[in-house]
């Protein structure tokens, strides 16, 4: 026992030595005073640990006490800084690979309450009806008050096929409701592509994992090969909680041939790290619209900010989440890990994302298309084509010759509306998602308007004042 305590004190001393060496202070007396103060505080911790081990009413596990002390230390910092015991750290590593067991939700702590940033599409939580903004107040009947993110995540994970009960409070609920979810193997499909036809494409990025860049790149190259060009792209980052920074940087670089992508600044303001776009591998300069909402966070905001500030894309939707801090993950000797906030993100224009988010160029609310359809029905205007037996237009004659008796109908058209079950992915997307419909209208208008300028290619000029680095 005494040997364990002695080794523990030596470990604490090592921390003091390393920490002191990292700070350059010319005054030797000041350095010694600070080191003495730190050692005194650590001695207090060691003394409490010793007293608990010797006099607590029951035997205690030394490692459990040390882990508990570290967790308490982390609670004094921001919600994204966490200590990850070996079992949790192992699961954390598997999540970034795109396949893991669990529910499939990204969580954070807001105002002391465990809150869902976003459920990942096609996961157990998504299918059970969990929504972005839900507040998880109980897990299997136990209050979540005081839980760290790592602890909450650990409680939610379990064997595939086992059930978990989440007590969720949502705006509009009079009291929390129980959601029973069956845990499953979560396989994340990061890039979801839809052919909008006529050369236009839609890709939804659900998260940033190891294969996000490659999946997006493959989808766009296949589309480009099919149509010989990409006339326009809607890149959907709504409800995307973020993920790996390098994936956001690579995807930004796919659309930018120069300029800053993102910069990070830590405690020392002079230590600024800047990541730049490279010319190699950049896609042609076609119209690009990025959709964001209040649940687009972290890596999503880095990508949206880079494209916005470099004037490469039009940002549509709603202000993003505002998670602009950088976490560095360190694997410790016993298999545990430390997820530590070490810096803040800044967009190319020098704006911090933290607690501010990305403000869209065009604000578009996420309206209910069913309500819009009903409103359209009540205000229906009859035209020549609505008269039975009318003389067919040339377009109608062509459709008739091709056997097309039921042309595509969007949310704003009540006539001849298709059964959703018989719709193509394109038809369903444009008819059911108001924001995507608006983005699609902007894309087509963008293409038309550039023709009046005599320039149908260079639709998003770069800022001449933007610092750049080309390789």
Cα-flanking dihedrals φ and ψ of residue 291, to 5°? -95, 130
Active-site entry in 309, 339, 373, 431: 309
Reported for 175-184, long-range contacts at CB under 8 A and 24+ positions apart, including other chains, are 176/137, 176/138, 179/128, 179/129, 179/130, 180/128, 181/103, 181/124, 181/125, 181/128, 181/130, 182/124, 183/101, 183/102, 183/103, 183/124, 183/157, 183/158, 183/159, 184/101, 184/102, 184/123, 184/124, 184/160
- Cα dist from 89 to 86, 206, 339, 383, 423, whole Å: 5, 23, 9, 64, 44
Quick check: is 323 catalytic? yes
Catalytic residue, candidates 148, 190, 298, 300? 298
- Picking from 460, 463, 80, 467, the residue whose alpha carbon sits closest to that of residue 275 is 467
Report the interhelical angle of 2-21 vs 28-55 (nearest 10°).
160
Name which of 102, 117, 281 is nearest 185 in CA terms: 102
CA angle 187, 247, 153 (to 5 degrees): 45
d(CA 368, CA 412): 12
Give CA separation, 322 vs 76, 251, 317, in Å: 21, 20, 15
Spatial CB neighbours of 161, under 8 Å, sequence gap ≥ 6: 182, 183, 184
Three-class secondary structure of residue 331 per DSSP: strand
Active site residue 309: yes
Judged by phi (left if over 0) then psi (alpha if -120 to 50, else beta), residue 461 lies in beta
- Residue 217 falls in the annotated catalytic set: no
What are the distances in angstroms from CA 365 to CA 1, 45, 149, 370? 63, 52, 30, 15
Give the pair of three-digit tokens for residue 339.
Answer: 């997820």
Pair 278, 253: CB distance under 8 Å: yes
CB-based contact 310:466 (threshold 8 Å): yes
At residue 222, what are phi and psi to the nearest 5 degrees?
-65, -40
Considering 323, 325, 336, 339, which one is annotated as catalytic? 323
Alpha carbon 392 to chain centroid, angstroms: 49
d(CA 319, CA 299): 15
Which run of H or E residues covers position 46?
Answer: helix 28-55
Residue ranges of alpha helices (H) inside 188-276 are 212-227, 245-255
Instruction: Give catalytic residues, as residue numbers.
Output: 298, 309, 323
């Amino acid at each position: 026992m005494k040997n364990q305590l002695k080794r523990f004190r030596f470990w604490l001393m090592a921390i003091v030595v390393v920490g002191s060496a990292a700070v350059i202070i010319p005054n030797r007396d000041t350095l010694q005073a600070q080191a003495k103060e730190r050692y005194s505080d650590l001695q207090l911790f060691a003394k409490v640990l010793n007293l608990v081990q010797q006099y607590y009413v029951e035997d205690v596990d030394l490692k459990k006490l040390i882990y508990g002390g570290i967790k308490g230390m982390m609670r004094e910092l921001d919600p994204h800084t966490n200590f990850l015991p070996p079992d949790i750290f192992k699961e954390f590593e598997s999540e970034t690979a795109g396949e893991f067991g669990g529910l499939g939700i990204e969580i954070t702590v807001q105002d002391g309450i465990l809150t869902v940033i976003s459920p990942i599409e096609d996961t157990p939580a998504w299918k059970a009806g969990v929504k972005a903004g839900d507040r998880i107040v109980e897990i299997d009947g136990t209050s979540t008050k005081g839980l760290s993110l790592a602890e909450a995540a650990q409680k939610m994970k379990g064997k595939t096929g086992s059930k978990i009960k989440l007590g969720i409070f949502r705006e509009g609920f009079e009291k929390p409701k129980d959601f029973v979810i069956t845990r499953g193997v979560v396989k994340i499909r990061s890039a979801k592509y839809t052919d909008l036809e006529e050369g236009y494409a839609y890709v939804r990025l659900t998260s940033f994992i190891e294969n996000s860049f490659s999946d997006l790149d493959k989808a766009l190259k296949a589309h480009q090969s099919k149509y010989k060009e990409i006339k326009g792209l809607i890149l959907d980052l709504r409800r995307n909680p973020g993920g790996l920074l390098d994936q956001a940087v690579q995807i930004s670089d796919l659309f930018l041939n120069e300029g800053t992508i993102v910069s990070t600044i830590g405690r020392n303001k002079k230590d600024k790290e800047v990541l730049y776009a490279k010319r190699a591998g950049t896609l042609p300069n076609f119209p690009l619209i990025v959709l964001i909402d209040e649940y687009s966070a972290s890596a999503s905001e880095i990508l949206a900010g880079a494209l916005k500030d470099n004037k490469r894309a039009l940002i549509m939707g709603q202000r993003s989440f505002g998670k602009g801090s950088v976490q560095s993950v360190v694997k410790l000797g016993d298999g545990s890990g430390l997820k530590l906030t070490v810096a803040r993100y800044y967009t190319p224009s020098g704006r911090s994302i933290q607690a501010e988010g990305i403000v869209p160029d065009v604000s578009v609310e996420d309206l209910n298309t069913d309500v819009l359809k009903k409103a359209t029905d009540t205000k229906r205007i009859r035209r020549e084509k609505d008269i039975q037996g009318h003389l067919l237009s040339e377009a109608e004659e062509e459709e008739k010759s091709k056997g097309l008796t039921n042309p595509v109908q969007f949310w704003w058209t009540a006539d001849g509306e298709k059964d959703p079950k018989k719709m193509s992915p394109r038809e369903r997307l444009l008819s059911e998602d108001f924001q995507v419909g608006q983005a699609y209208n902007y894309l087509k208008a963008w293409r038309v308007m550039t023709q009046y300028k005599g320039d149908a290619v260079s639709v998003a000029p770069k800022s001449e004042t933007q610092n750049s680095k080309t390789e």
